[in-house]
Amino acid sequence: MIKKISIALVVLIVSTSCVSKKIYNDLEKKYADLKKENRNLSDGNEDLLKAKNQLELDSNAQKTELDKLKAERDKLLADYTASSKNLKTLQASYNALEKDSNEALTSNINKNRELLAQLEAKEKSMAAEQDRLNKLKAELDSSSKRLSELESYIAAKDASMKKLKETLSKSLKAFEGKGLTVEQRNGKVYVSMENKLLFGTGSWAVGAEGKTAVVAVGKVLSDNPDISVLIEGHTDDDKILGSIGGGIENNWDLSTKRATAIVTILSENKSVKKENLTAAGRGEFAPLMSNDTPEGKAKNRRIEIILTPKLDEISKMLNEL
């Protein structure tokens, strides 16, 4: 069966203390912006959920059609059995008539002809129904085979993503406890690296230890050419003040530059397909924790490398059902 996919989204609201009206209004505007972003993320989640539900509806519709075809097949078999029995009865009657005298045969010749015509018509009807039943059975067999292939393909994808997660965890074991985690959820693998492992404050230059971790990820990706890779940069909600490291305009800019820096390191591995890589800056708008504490801010400053299996073959198989 088709496995379901679900997406979890966390949106936290930053509370404010008593301040001047101008600051309060600014905070209210920012809160409204965050709330709007929250709605957008919720809408996106609903779209994904609708797509998941549609796949489930399509699967249920296929099952319903299969049950309907089985019922039609059973009815046709019953009709065929009844027709065969009637044919035998008519044949027996015909044989009995043949045993009658020539006089009886002459008087009943018209009736026999009618019976024979009826038998011939019935046989043609049964042959047509049998052809239809054979076609339906062939379609059912083909559909069942495609469903089985789809289930096997999805199971294989899940198994490959589990193996990918285990390989990454093993390759990055040296970075445990240094702000790096590897998780598998929603059919994807997430490699999260806190900024303390990768960047200095306000910088998008990757440090030596962080580069070692990214290079290790690249080695695993080089052995998995059919994986789509999304690199997301995230920041806390501290505002960019002044000119930092060559002039960063805001957290969007900083998070994008950091994501691009990771893509650059991964691209240095010639075996990594560049067309599979995507860089995205999320700024401060997808926090893991509240930005009210230093610990929360540290968790929110991160790079997430999201590995997704390509689903083109699954979509093709679904369209063929």
Looking at the structure, tell me whether residues 154 and 41 fall in a common domain.
yes
**11, part of any domain:** no
Question: 10 Å Cβ neighbour count for 180?
Answer: 24
Q: What are the tens digits of pLDDT across the range 236-283? A: 999 887 655 567 889 999 999 999 999 999 999 999 999 999 999 999
CA distance linking residue 93 with residue 314, whole number of Å: 59
- The CATH number of whichever domain residue 219 belongs to comes to 3.30.1330.60
Looking at the structure, tell me whether residues 180 and 46 fall in a common domain.
no
Which of 158, 182, 197 finishes a domain?
A: 158
**pLDDT value of residue 195:** 94
**pLDDT value of residue 44:** 86
Looking at the structure, tell me whether residues 209 and 248 fall in a common domain.
yes
**22, part of any domain:** yes
**142, part of any domain:** yes
Whether the pLDDT of residue 213 is over 60: the answer is yes
What is the average pLDDT score of the chain?
84
The set of long-range contacts for 308-315, using a CB threshold of 8 Å and a minimum separation of 24, is: 308/187, 308/188, 308/227, 308/228, 308/229, 308/230, 309/157, 309/160, 309/161, 309/187, 309/188, 309/226, 309/227, 309/228, 310/226, 310/227, 310/228, 313/153, 314/150, 314/153, 314/154, 314/157
Quote the number of domains for the chain: 2
**pLDDT value of residue 16:** 45
Whether the pLDDT of residue 12 is over 50: the answer is no
Looking at the structure, tell me whether residues 130 and 79 fall in a common domain.
yes
* Domain span including residue 74: 18-158
Looking at the structure, tell me whether residues 146 and 258 fall in a common domain.
no
Looking at the structure, tell me whether residues 131 and 259 fall in a common domain.
no
Give the residue with greater pLDDT, 159 vs 146. 159
Q: Which of 13-22, 40-49, 86-95, 121-130 shows the lowest per-residue confidence on average (mean pLDDT)?
A: 13-22
Whether the pLDDT of residue 94 is over 90: the answer is no
pTM: 0.54
Give the residue with greater pLDDT, 52 vs 318. 52
**pLDDT value of residue 264:** 97
Looking at the structure, tell me whether residues 37 and 141 fall in a common domain.
yes
Which of 91, 126, 158 finishes a domain?
A: 158
